[in-house]
Structures are given as C-alpha cells and as structure tokens.
Amino acid sequence: MGDKPVIGFIGLGLMGHGMAKNLLQGGYELWVRGRSNRKPVESLLSIGAHEAASPRDMAERCDVIHICLSNSPQIEAVMRAPDGILAAVRAGLVVIDASTADPSSTESLAAELAAVGGHFVDAPLGGTPAQAESGQLSAMVGCDEDVFDRIRPIIDCWASSATRIGPVGSGHKMKLLMNFIGLSYGALFSEVVVLGAKIGISPQTIREVIAPSRMGNGFFETFMSYVVDRNRESHKFTIANAAKDIRYLNNMASEAHVVNIMAAAAKHYYTHAEATGHAADYVPMLSDYVGALNGIDMQEEVRKVA
C-alpha cells in the first residue's frame, strides 16, 4: 500500500455517502459503486469520484475497498459473486466492512480473503448520518494490529475515534452489543410512553421528567423528539435494520450458549413492526405500533396537551 492508496466504496446510503465524501476530501482517489439510487453516486462523481462497473472492477483498481451495506447476505454477494471482490483480489487488498453484520459471516469471509492474499477488516459505525457527513463517526475495528496501523489514516477521514476491539469479527460483535442496548431502549421507551398514556401521564411529562435525570441520554432525546415533536427525521435508523441487528444479536447469543431473555423480548417488537409493513419506518415510530397494540393513538395523546 503506497502513501496514498486508491480507495473503493460500495454502499452509498445514509452513512456511506458522507464517509465517501470525506475520503475524497482527504485526498484519496475514490471509486464508488451505488445501487438504484443515483443521487449519492452523482453527488460524488461531481466532486471527483470515479464509478466502478462492478465490485470485481473495483478490486482490480483499488488498494482498499469499503463496504457499507444493510446485511450479511448483501455483503456476501458483493464478495462472492462472479463479478465480486474475491474474483479479482490482488495481494494486500484490504476490505473494510463498515456494515453491521453477522460475525459468523464476517469470520468466514475473512478466511476466504486471507486465503488469496487479502485482509478483511470489520469496522462498524457509531453515529448518525449527520456525523457521517462531518467525519465525526466512531469505528469499532476488528483486525490484526499491523493492518489497523496501515488503515488508520484512512479511517481517520470519516471517524473522529477508532478503537481496535480485537481480531477480525470482534468489531461486529461489539457493534451488536452496542445496538442491543440502543434497540432495547427503543422497545423500553415505547412501552414507557404507551403505559404512561394509558394511565394518564403524557409523553410531554415523561420527557420533562426523564430527560434531565440520570436516566436521560442521547437516545432518549432523539426518540422523544419523534414521540412528542413528531419529528420523523430525529432518529433515522430503520425498523428493517433494527430487526436485522437484534436478530443477529440473538443468533450470537445462541452460538455462545447464553440465556438472553431481554434481547429475545426486544426482538419481537421489531419483528412485528417489520412483518406488518413498517420496515422502512424509523425506530422511534415503534412507539406508535406498541400504542396500537394497546388501543392507544400516540399522536392523539400528544395533541391532548399540545
């Protein structure tokens, strides 16, 4: 890898666009590969990026490839397809998977890439789309120490902090633990505001009391911004991604032979919301669906005291 390796980026969604933009602004030659939404691709092409014809084409051109996709089947397809990355690996190629993925899949892909001379790095993200645009994400990194040292300047373009958790797979394991906390908050806060409404305590009052207390936190703030203010943009993490992450967490617990009652309970809310047509909605909207299960219209509950 030279002083300025050529970078590839696959997956230009809510997080990927900002990350890729910051790599360009860091002075790296960038090749991108999007999906059906052309807007982020065109945005990056307009400021100097190049478009790869396929993941294989990208692997032939790049020294480091980022992947930022929704789930492990998508990542596996990008890696293993006939026109995928593994079809054209050059010795020393580094693949940085910034997705939230199944650690078992990650470890398998890492072994396949290592067998042909490459290095797989799991570097899932902490933060928001706004932080992705400003280069202020955090990264939980799984890889060998020498690989981490080599790629650190690249990660620093889009992350204000990067922590090496351990070997390959450990970054994705850490991210699932983090999301277990957040998604459990989502289920818990949904039950809290619905139960409060049922017994005559408004969402506004709950926010007023909890927010400044020791139980308030950033997740509570953005969650309640939707519940009370009906701000649909406050917490842009989809039900589909939440359901996937909590499913991967439960799978990880099963493989570790761990009793995980809390995670199993949280999973059912997200699975229900996804199964009833709300996959594209965002996590705070879970409160509306928990409300409906209990005969409560949460928007009307807010209007009562507005």
* pLDDT by 10s per residue, the chain, length 306: 457 999 999 999 989 999 999 999 999 999 999 877 899 999 999 999 999 999 999 999 999 999 999 999 999 999 999 999 999 998 999 999 999 999 999 999 999 999 999 999 999 999 989 999 999 999 999 999 999 999 999 999 999 999 999 999 999 999 999 999 999 999 999 999 999 999 999 999 999 999 999 999 999 999 999 999 999 999 999 999 999 999 999 999 999 999 999 999 999 999 999 999 999 999 999 999 999 999 999 999 999 987
pLDDT of res. 225: 98
Q: 118 phi and psi, to 5 degrees?
A: -105, 180
pLDDT of res. 3: 77
Cβ burial of 246 (10 Å; 0-12, 13-18, 19+) is buried
Set 173, 175, 244, 267: catalytic member: 175
Structure-block tokens of residue 297: 């219209």
| Whole-number Å distance between alpha carbons of 101 and 268 | 20
- CATH 3.40.50.720 residue ranges in the chain? 7-167
CATH topology of domain 173-303: N-(1-d-carboxylethyl)-l-norvaline Dehydrogenase; domain 2 (1.10.1040)
The single-letter DSSP state of residue 161 is: E
Q: Are 283 and 220 in contact (CB under 8 A)?
A: no
Q: Are 249 and 263 in contact (CB under 8 A)?
A: yes
The single-letter DSSP state of residue 277 is: I
7-167 sits in which CATH class?
A: alpha beta
pLDDT of res. 88: 96
Give the bridge partners for 141, in sequence order. Answer: 164
Largest Cα separation within the chain, whole Å, is: 64
| Whole-number Å distance between alpha carbons of 184 and 12 | 27
Instruction: Look at the pTM and tell me if it is higher than 0.95.
Output: no
- CATH 1.10.1040.10 residue ranges in the chain? 173-303
pLDDT of res. 37: 86
Separation in Å, CA 147 to CA 26, 95, 212, 256: 20, 11, 42, 27
Q: 159 phi and psi, to 5 degrees?
A: -125, 135
Query: Would you call 267 a catalytic residue per the annotation?
Result: no
pLDDT of res. 168: 98
